[in-house]
Amino acid sequence: MKSTIISHIGKRKTNQDLTLAKKINADSYLYLIADGMGGYDNGEIAAEIVIENIAAYLSSTSLLNEIAIRKAINKANLALRKYQEQHHSKLGSTIGGVIITGNVTKIFWVGDVKILHYSQRKLCFESKAHNITNELSSLNSLNKKPSLSKYDHIVTRSIQGDSKKSIPSFHELLLKKGDELIICSDGVHNIIDAHTLQYILNNEDSSNLVIDTINQRLEKEANDNASLILIEDFE
């Protein structure tokens, strides 16, 4: 298994995205992207607290299931709440994560970090962001849905010290040889959507060229922090 990480500061003063690729036991790998929330204090600190606490909990348990993931997220919530109380600062972060054990993959997310699964270079799964656009679009009362894309950046779930506001979504899949997984912050998927990434995967001859092409787009166009993890070479 191989993973490649890229992270761009964009036109921001600091990079409030944080990434992790780590083997957490003899059989399992953990991949995370945390995106410190804009408009809050110290987004990079929030992302670091979230990554550290989720990774620490999942590295210490033998049962890597939905219950464990919820507990890991709650541990991050408690750590953020403690920091906020000590520093009188409001912190928050979104998160997207992948746990791979053999060919079994557990995907989880809170907020708008996206996880994409490609098989035979075709998009098979795309996580649905927790944002106002998707929340309103899912309401049955909206018979005629107005254009809601201007609300894409407003998340409805995040890790910010309140477990009621950080309920994760889950997806599980079985990986096959040749499959690819991508985790990316909104700074990436706002510029390069899932189908454009599929086009890049299909038209470049190697993963290095895929990464080069994505890097070139982000260097030219990224205003926000933009981070991506490409996971491939499954047996």
At residue 213, what is the residue type? T
How confident is the model at residue 215, as a pLDDT?
96
Least confident of 63-77, 100-114, 123-137, 203-217: 123-137
Q: Are 231 and 3 in contact (CB under 8 A)?
A: yes
Contact partners, residue 110, CB within 8 Å, separation at least 6: 73, 94, 95, 130, 157, 158, 159, 166, 167, 168, 169
How many domains, the chain? 1
At residue 96, what is the residue type? G
Q: Is the pLDDT at 145 greater than 60, yes or no?
A: no
Range of the domain at 205: 2-232
Q: Residue 107 pairs with which residues in a beta bridge?
A: 98, 171
Q: Is the pLDDT at 149 greater than 80, yes or no?
A: no
Tell me: the pLDDT tens digits for 180-230? 999 999 999 999 999 999 999 999 999 999 999 999 999 999 999 999 999
- How much is the pTM? 0.93
Q: Is the pLDDT at 32 greater than 70, yes or no?
A: yes
Q: Which CATH number does the domain housing residue 187 bear?
A: 3.60.40.10
Between 141 and 71, the more confident residue is 71
How confident is the model at residue 233, as a pLDDT?
86
